[in-house]
């Protein structure tokens, strides 16, 4: 080895690999999200409004505290608050004060909101299956889900 040549240690290679993996994951996520947003099957609600309805629909009572909803969606807190206000004005969600904390708000998916969610969900799921499911086989899809859950801390 010449004086100007150095070998990267394991820690540096690991950092480089982690950064490369992160960049690939991030770019894949952006590409998939752009495609799904462009192919979103309705103009009745936006992609982000659907995300709120989707997250509420997954709750046992179709309700979440606003601060917990913020943890599930990919928007900033002020954006979520404004979006929830628009959904409430259209009758898709209801807002009530949190009984145990007067500063908090409970967001509940209404029957109208649930019907809107269900109407859009089937076509949206078809679009997801086309964009993701046709590019990866079942083993890869399961591995991708497991790896993403692990990165989120859902092990």
Residue 154: the pLDDT is 57
Task: For residue 119, give the H/E element and its range.
Answer: helix 111-128
pLDDT in tens, 104-119: 899 999 999 999 999 9
Considering the domain 43-152, what is its CATH architecture?
A: Orthogonal Bundle (1.10)
Spans of the chain, pLDDT less than 70: 1-9, 154-155
Residue 2: the pLDDT is 47
How far, in Å, CA of 147 to CA of 136, rounded?
Answer: 14
51 Cβ contact partners less than 8 Å away, ≥ 6 residues apart: 73, 74
Asked if 44 and 117 count as a contact pair (C-beta separation under 8 A), the reply is: no
50 Cβ contact partners less than 8 Å away, ≥ 6 residues apart: 40, 117, 120, 124
Residue 8: the pLDDT is 59
The strand order across the sheet containing 93-98 reads 63-65, 101-109, 93-98
Residue 51: the pLDDT is 93
Asked if 25 and 17 count as a contact pair (C-beta separation under 8 A), the reply is: no
This prediction has a pTM of: 0.78
């Amino acid at each position: 080895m010449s004086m100007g040549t150095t070998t990267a240690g394991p820690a540096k290679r690991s950092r480089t690999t982690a950064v490369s993996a992160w960049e690939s994951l991030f770019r894949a996520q952006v590409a998939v999200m752009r495609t799904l947003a462009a192919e979103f099957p309705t103009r009745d609600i936006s992609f982000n409004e659907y995300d709120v309805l989707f997250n509420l629909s997954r709750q046992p009572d179709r309700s979440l505290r606003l601060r917990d909803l913020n943890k599930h969606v990919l928007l900033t807190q002020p954006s979520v608050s404004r979006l929830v206000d628009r959904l409430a004005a259209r009758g898709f969600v209801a807002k009530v004060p949190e009984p145990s904390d007067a500063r908090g708000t409970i967001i509940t998916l209404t029957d109208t909101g649930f019907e809107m969610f269900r109407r859009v969900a089937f076509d949206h799921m078809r679009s997801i299956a086309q964009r993701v499911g046709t590019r990866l086989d079942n083993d890869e899809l399961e591995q991708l889900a497991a790896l993403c859950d692990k990165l989120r801390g859902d092990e």
